[in-house]
Amino acid sequence: MKYLIIIWISLFSSLSYGFEFKTPDYLSLQTGGYTGFATLGVGYKLNNIWDLETQMGYTPYSLGGIDITTFDLKVRWYHSKLILDDNMLLLGYFSSTFLYSNDKDMFVVLPAKYPRKYYDPSAIRWLFTFGSMFQIHDKYSFYIDYSYTDVELTKYYNNYEYLSLQNLGSIGLGIKYKIK
Amino acid sequence: MYFKICLLFCLFSCGRLEYSPWSVDVPDTKLNNKNLYLISKQRQEYPFKVALLADPQGHIQDFRKQLELLNSRDDISFTVVLGDLTDYGLKEEFEWVLNASRISNAPILFIPGNHDGLANGKKIYKQMFGEYSYTFNYADHKFVMWNNNKLEWQGEPNWPWLASQLNSKSILMSHIPPIDDVYQSQEIKYWKQLMQDKNIPISIHGHLHKNMFWSDDIKHYVAPASVTSKYGLLTVEKDSTIVETCTKNGCIKE
DSSP string, A114-178: SPTT-S--SSEEEEEEEEEEEE-SSSEEEEEEEEEEHHHHHHHHH-TTT--GGGSSEEEEEEEEE
Inside any domain, residue A16:
no
Which pLDDT value is given to residue B4?
59
Phi first, then psi, for residue B178 (nearest 5°) are: -80, 45
Question: Are B246 and B65 spatial neighbours (Cβ–Cβ below 8 Å)?
Answer: no
Question: CB distance from A166 to chain B under 8 Å?
Answer: yes
- Flag residues of chain B having pLDDT under 70: 1-14
| Per-residue pLDDT, B239 | 92
Would you state the pLDDT for residue A2?
Answer: 53
Q: Confirm whether A14 is domain-assigned.
A: no
Q: What is the pLDDT of residue A86?
A: 78
**What is the pTM assigned to this prediction?**
0.91
Residue A42 resides in a domain = yes
**Per-residue model confidence as pLDDT tens digits over A104-156:** 889 999 999 999 999 999 999 999 999 999 998 888 999 999 999 999 999 99
Mean pLDDT of A159-175: 94
Residue A15 domain-assigned (yes or no): no
Give A144's strand partners.
Answer: A132, A173
Q: How far is CA B4 from CA A34, A87, A174, B246, in A?
A: 27, 18, 20, 54
Q: What percent of chain A has pLDDT over 90?
A: 76
pLDDT in tens, A25-84: 999 999 999 999 999 999 999 998 999 999 999 999 999 999 999 999 999 999 999 988
The SS3 of residue A31 is: strand
Indicate whether A19 belongs to any domain. Answer: no
- Best B20, B63, B99 residue to mutate vs chain A (most A CBs within 10 Å): B20
pLDDT of residue A9: 59
**ipTM confidence:** 0.89
Is A167 touching B (CB cutoff 8 A)? yes
Report DSSP letters for B127-187, one per residue: HHH--SSEEEEETTEEEEEE---TTTSTT-S-HHHHHHH--TTEEEEESS-TT-TTS-HHH
The pLDDT of residue B35: 97
- Residue A81, in any domain of the structure: yes
Q: How many domains does chain A have?
A: 1
pLDDT of residue B114: 96
Residue A74 lies in a domain: yes
Q: By residue range, what is the domain housing residue A56?
A: 2-8+25-178
Identify whether A149 is part of a domain: yes
Residue A107: CATH number of its domain? 2.40.160.20
CA nearest neighbour of A140 among A30, A26, A31: A26
**So what's the pLDDT on residue B216?**
87
Q: Which of B11, B19, B114 is most worth mutating to test chain A (most A CB atoms within 10 A of its CB)?
A: B19
* Residue B44 to chain A, least CA–CA distance (Å): 34
